Structure 1
């Protein structure tokens, strides 16, 4: 048996998750309090900008930030709300939304066309420095008291 292609994995994931448009993601975030979670690499945010009000979560840390028993748990992921994942084109976010569902997250979806579709549809975008400045002012509980475990 050969290695399953990432395209096959993404296609399978999309059959199990909620695939939404940028406009629907924007509506859910502004009207229903959903949190848009941008899983792109920080260099992509620096180069292309970010969605105002979104939370940046590096793809490599997603499961650790979501898991309630991880030393890296982020309070935002413990909230009772919908999480809308977004990557550049919709592949990483589809796989990630599927993984979050496997972890037991009840309300998770993804922007099917990714940040590229978000921008093409004329949705709001901010530059990285403004995004980072606003994110730093967001009230978040300190995790400094938690010690990472190997």
Structure 2
């Protein structure tokens, strides 16, 4: 049975509705107290290649529950008055995640163009992730 929408179409639609930071814009925000980078990649990806320094890990599968203050899984970091910048490996999952949390009401959100792979390729600072 053919799909009604491809994953590429879903990502393109999400990108038309959200704010995207260039790698340079994101790198300039590193260390800014008003910004929280959020790594939505799987733990295996993080262990393999590290992460952006100071990034909060929110696995994609739990993101909606961790953001919702009415959920028993709510994480207080998402109640802070910060700008949340999501990233994954290639900026596909983060586009979908950013659109979803924006629809949920988290307004100060964006994602990083090209994801962590583009961050690394640009020479962006990284840190190792312990087990």
TM-score normalized by structure 2? 0.94
CA RMSD of aligned residues (A): 1.4
* Deviates further, 45-54 or 87-96: 45-54
The aligned residue for residue 141 of structure 1 is: none
Deviation for aligned residue 1:48: 1.0
Question: Looking at CA atoms only, which structure, 1 or 2, has the larger radius of gyration?
Answer: 1
The aligned residue for residue 87 of structure 1 is: 88
Query: Hey, what's the Cα distance between the residues in 2 that align with 1:41 and 1:2?
Result: 26
- Please list every run of at least 4 consecutive aligned residues from structure 1 whose deviation after the TM superposition is greater than 3 angstroms: none
TM-score normalized by structure 1? 0.82
Alignment of 1:89-128 (within 5 A): 89-128=90-129
Q: Looking at secondary structure, tell me which structure has more helix per residue.
A: 1
- Give the paired residue count: 130
Gaps of 5+ in 1: 133-150
Query: Hey, what's the Cα distance between the residues in 1 that align with 2:32 and 2:48?
Result: 29
Deviation for aligned residue 1:83: 0.4
Gaps of 5+ in 2: none
Deviation for aligned residue 1:32: 5.5
Deviation for aligned residue 1:31: 3.3
